Amino acid sequence: MSSRERILGRVRRALGDAPADEAPVARDYLREHGQRSTARTVELLAGNLADYRAVVHRCADGELPALLARLLSARGARSVVVPPGLPAQWLAAADAALVPDRAESTPHELDEVSSVVTGCAVAVAETGTIVLDGSPDQGRRRITLVPDHHICVVRVPDQVVSSVPQALERLDPARPLTWISGPSATSDIELDRVEGVHGPRTLEVVLVQAQPSGNVTS
Amino acid sequence: MSGTFVGMPAFPAAAREAVGDATLRGNLRHATHTIRDKRARAVAELDDWAALREAGRRIKDHTLRHLDRYLVQLEESVTAAGGTVHWAADADEANEIVARLVEETGEREVVKVKSMATQEIGLNEALEARGIHAYETDLAELIVQLGKDRPSHILVPAIHRNRGEIRDIFRSEMGAWGRPAPEGLTDTPAELAEAARLHLREKFLRARVGVSGANFMVAETGTLVVVESEGNGRMCLTLPETLISVVGIEKIVPSWRDLEVFLQTLPRSSTAERMNPYTSMWTGTTDEDGPRTFHLVLLDNGRTDTLADEVGRQALRCIRCSACLNVCPVYERAGGHAYGSVYPGPIGAILSPQLRGTGSEIDASLPYASSLCGACYEVCPVAIDIPEVLVHLRERVVQGGPAVREGNRVVLKPAKGHAAERAAMRAAGWAFDRPGALRAGQRLASRSRRLHPRTLPGPGRAWSGSRELPAVPAEPFRDWWQRTHGGKGEAE
Ligand code: SF4
C-alpha cells in the first residue's frame, strides 16, 4: 500500500464516528473595519506604512519622475533594477544606471545593484501592506528582495483597498504573491525590533495621485 | 514522531531545573510579558475579533471533517500548477523523501526557513547523516543552531538567550559555519542582526535547494503560504532552483477566501502586528520566477491518530501563533525546554502526547504541565479548549482506554507501574489518591467553560474588555507547584 493510500485510509477511519458537518462557516466578521472616505483610506494607508517604518512620500502624477530621481540620488544609488513593464518615463530623470530584470541575472549580480523601483498590485490600508504579484511593472520576486533599497509606487486611490478580505478578492492566486508590510524586521533578540535583516533595509512607498493632489473626493 | 529530545527528563524534573535558573526566568518573563501586552493592543484594534476567531475555528473544523477530500483536492491543484506531491506517513519516511530529493539535485547543502514540521521530524539530523548540511536561516534558529541548542519558543526559538549570550555564540561559532562574525561585534541587537545578515547572505546567494514548511495550503488553488518577518523565508522560497516544502496535513484550508480570516488573526496573535513584514504565496512553479522545481511533502506523523480522538482532534486546528505560550504561567516559569518537544507551552502539552503517544515519561507528564487556568483558551485564535484536552489526556494516562496509534486501534493500559505513571505521579501525585474527584471536578470545570463562553456576544465590546482576564484558575500554578514540589526550586 502506498503512503498516500495509508494516510487517506487513516483519515477516513479516524473520521468514521465524527458528527456530520456543522452548518456552513458563518462569515459574519467585517469586510472592513470602519467607514472611511477614499481620501481617509489613503491617509490610513500612509499612517500604517509609516508606523512600520516604511518611508512614505506623496506626489501628483507629473511629479513622479523628479521625485524618484531625487530619492535615488539621496540614497547615492549607482544602479537600479527596472522591471520590464515599468512606465519608461518614471525613471527618465534618474542618474543611476538602469539594470533590466532578466532571467539570466545571478543572485550575486543582483546583490551588486543599489536599488529597485516597482509598481504594486494592491495596497491594504488597515494593515499598511503593499502586495506584489509579479506583473510586468513589478518583475520577478527576487528583484525586490536582494537589493537593499526598494521604492514601490502605489497609484492612489485606485490600487488601495481598506482590508485584507478586499485585497484577497483582487488578487490572482495563480501568480506568485509577496505581501510587504514595512522593511524586513526581527524581534528575535530580546524582542527588540530591528529593521532590516535579509530583505531591503529601506522601503520607500510613493503614493502617486492620478489627479493633482487635493482634488480627490470620496 | 522522532522528535523526543533524547534523555529528556520528564516535565516536573526539567521544569524544576529551569525554574531555578534565574537568567532563563528573567529572559522569559520579559519576553512573554512584552509580547502579551502588545498582542492585546493589536487584537483590540479589530472589533470583530470574536467573529474572526469563531470563523477560524469553524473553517478548521470543517477542513478536518473532510480532510481526505481536501488532501486529494490539494494534490490535484498543486500537481496541475507544476508541483510534485509526496506523502509521508511518519518522520522516517519524510526524511527519506527529502534526502532523496536533495541527492537527486547533486547538492550537499540546503537553506532552511524556520519550520516546526521539519524540527518535529528531525530533518536536519537526518540530512546530516546523509552528508547534507542544512543551514537554518531564521535569526533565532541560527542562534539555536550555532549554540548547539534547542528551540524554546514556537515564534522566538531563542527567547531563552539574551543579547550577551548571542554575541558570544556569534563570535565563537560563526567562523566554523561560514563567514565569521565581524571584528569587535558588540551586543546591540542591530549589530547582531547585521552580523547574521552578512553571514547568511553568502549562503542565500549560492543556495540551489531550499527547504520550508508552510503556514497554510489552499486546497482549491494549490497555493502555499509562508508568513515571516526577516526575509530569510523569501530568500529560501525564491532564490534556489529547487524548493521542498514539508507540511503537516492539518495545514490545509479549503478556499482562497479562507485566508482572509487567518491573515488577520495570525499576525496579531503571534507577533502582535497588524501584519507581519513578509508573506509569500506561491502556487506550483512560475516560469522564470523562483524555483523551477517544487516538491510538497505531506506529513502525517501522528496527525491522523490525533484526528481519531474526538476530544483531542481540536489540537489540529492550531495555527502555531504561540499566543498560548505567552500567557501561560507554567511556561513563563518553566521555559520551553522543559516540555521536551519542539512544541512547547500549552499547545505542546496537548499536541506532543497525541502525536507521540503517552508511552514515554515526558509525554505522560505533559498533560500535567498546566494549572488549567484557561488563559491559553482565551487567547487562542482558533478557540482550542486546551484545558479540556489536558483533562482528557490526564484521564487517558491514569485510566488508559481506546486510542489510535499509527493508524491502529489500541487499548492503552492504565499507567500503573511503568515509567509513565511515575512521571505523572511526580507531577500530580495527589490526583492519584483521588482520581475520581479530580476527574469529576475538572470535567465539570471544563464543561462549564463551554456553557459560559468567555467570548461574550456582541461585536467585540465585551471581548476586548474581558479577553486578558483568565478565569479563576482551577488550581493556581503556585498551589500546584507548592503541592507537588513542596516549594522546592522556587528559588526567588
Ligand atoms: S493552540 Fe491556539 S494559541 Fe496556541 S499556538 Fe495554537 S493557535 Fe496559537
Please tell me which residue of chain A has the smallest CA distance to B165: A189
Selected residue with higher pLDDT from B304 and B14 = B304
CB of B438 sitting under 6 A from ligand 1:
no
Closest A-chain CA to B309: A14
Q: Do B278 and A140 touch (CB under 8 A)?
A: no
Range 202-221 of B in CB contact (< 8 A) with A:
204-206, 218, 221
Q: Which fold has domain B46-301?
A: Rossmann fold (3.40.50)
- Helix (H) or strand (E) holding B150, with range, is none
Give the pLDDT score at A191. 66
Quote the Cα angle for B125-B127-B132, to 5°: 125
User: Residue ranges per domain, chain B?
Assistant: 46-301, 450-485
Which amino acid is located at B48 in the chain? D
pLDDT tens digits for range A102-145:
999 999 999 999 999 999 999 999 999 999 999 999 999 999 99
- B451-459 contact pairs (CB < 8 A, 24+): B454/B374, B454/B378, B455/B50, B455/B53, B455/B54, B455/B383, B456/B50, B457/B50, B459/B47, B459/B48, B459/B50, B459/B51
Does residue B373 contact residue B329 with C-beta atoms inside 8 Å?
yes
**Binning pLDDT at 50, 70 and 90, where does residue B114 land?**
confident
Q: Average pLDDT in the B350-355 region?
A: 92
Cβ separation B193–A174 shorter than 8 A:
no
Q: Say yes or no to pLDDT of B314 above 70.
A: yes
From B302, B305, B133, B146, select the one nearest B207 (Cα to Cα).
B133
B454 touching A, CB under 8 A? no
Reported as a single tens digit per residue, the pLDDT across B30-87 is 878 888 889 999 999 999 999 999 999 999 999 999 999 999 999 999 999 999 999 9
Instruction: Tell whether ipTM is more than 0.90.
Output: yes
CATH fold of the domain at A36-187+195-209: Rossmann fold (3.40.50)
- Return the pLDDT at B400: 85
B384 lines ligand 1 (CB under 6 A): yes
Give the pLDDT confidence of B127-171 residue by residue, as tens digits.
999 999 999 998 888 888 888 877 777 666 677 788 888 999 999
For residue B133, the Cα-to-chain-centroid distance in whole angstroms is 23
Choose the residue to mutate in B265, B319, B455 for probing ligand 1, maximizing ligand atoms within 8 Å of C-beta: B319
Least confident of A12-26, B34-48, B428-442: B428-442
Q: Where are the domains of chain A?
A: 36-187+195-209
What the block records as the C-alpha cell of B224 is 502555499
Instruction: Please check whether residue B117 is in contact with residue B246, taking contact to mean a CB–CB distance below 8 angstroms.
Output: yes
pLDDT confidence bin for B453, thresholds 50/70/90: very low
Q: Which of residues 287-326 of B touch A (CB under 8 A)?
A: 288-290, 298, 300, 304-305, 307-308, 310, 313
Q: What is the per-residue pLDDT for B17?
A: 65
Q: Is the pLDDT confidence value at B472 over 90?
A: no
Q: Is B55 an interface residue toward A (CB < 8 Å)?
A: yes
Judge whether residue B454 has pLDDT over 60. Answer: no
Query: Which residue, by CA, sits nearest to atom 6 of ligand 1?
Result: B318
Is B144 in CB contact (< 8 Å) with chain A?
A: no
Q: How far is A62 from chain B (nearest CA, A)?
A: 31
